[in-house]
Homo-oligomer: A and B are copies of this chain.
Amino acid sequence: MEMSRAVKALSALAHESRLAIFRLVIAAGPRGVAAGEIAERLEVPRPTLSFHLSQLTGAGLLEDRKEGRSVIYAARLKGISELLEYLIEDCCQGEVGGCAVPDLVVLKNCKPLGSDATGEQK
């Protein structure tokens, strides 16, 4: 990932309303949430919401699809993991003990597929 794309994604997340949108949509899973429902739940005026949603999709963090007359927003997994990966790219530089991202971060929440781990590793 290039620097400028990472900055774009971080900028998209660096806003109270947009971070709330992002988390709401992530929590909704693959099904996604309609723009109108987001506006209602977060009490953001429609034009303002539309602006924020365009920032998030433009940054590759959300994706949208049409369904009837609604537009449904869902998390874009690839964009999200690329960003996280970029952030911690050089976190270990050899010395694993000093890693900036201890295993708890991911494993606490995400039991790897096909693994026999409990999610409470080590």
Where the two chains meet, the residues of A that have a C-beta atom closer than 8 Å to any C-beta of B are 3-4, 6-7, 10-11, 13-16, 19-20, 23, 26-27, 29-30, 75, 77, 80-81, 84-85, 87-93, 95-115, 121-122
Given known contacts A30-B98, A81-B100, what 6 new A-B pairs fall within 8 Å (CB)? A23-B89, A29-B95, A77-B98, A77-B100, A92-B109, A106-B107
* A-B pairs with beta carbons under 8 Å apart, 13 shown: A6-B19, A23-B90, A26-B91, A26-B100, A30-B98, A77-B100, A77-B102, A81-B101, A81-B102, A81-B104, A101-B110, A102-B110, A103-B112
Q: A7-B16, A98-B30 are in contact. Are A91 and B105 (CB under 8 A)?
A: no
Copies held by the complex: 2
Chain B: which residue is nearest A24 at the CB level?
Answer: B90
B93 touches A29 (CB 8 A): yes
B contact residues around A100 at 8 Å (CB): 26, 75, 77, 80-81
CA distance A30 to B95 in the complex (A): 10
B contact residues around A91 at 8 Å (CB): 26, 75, 80, 109-110
CA distance A35 to B30 in the complex (A): 44
State the Cβ distance, A67 to closest chain B Cβ, in Å: 18
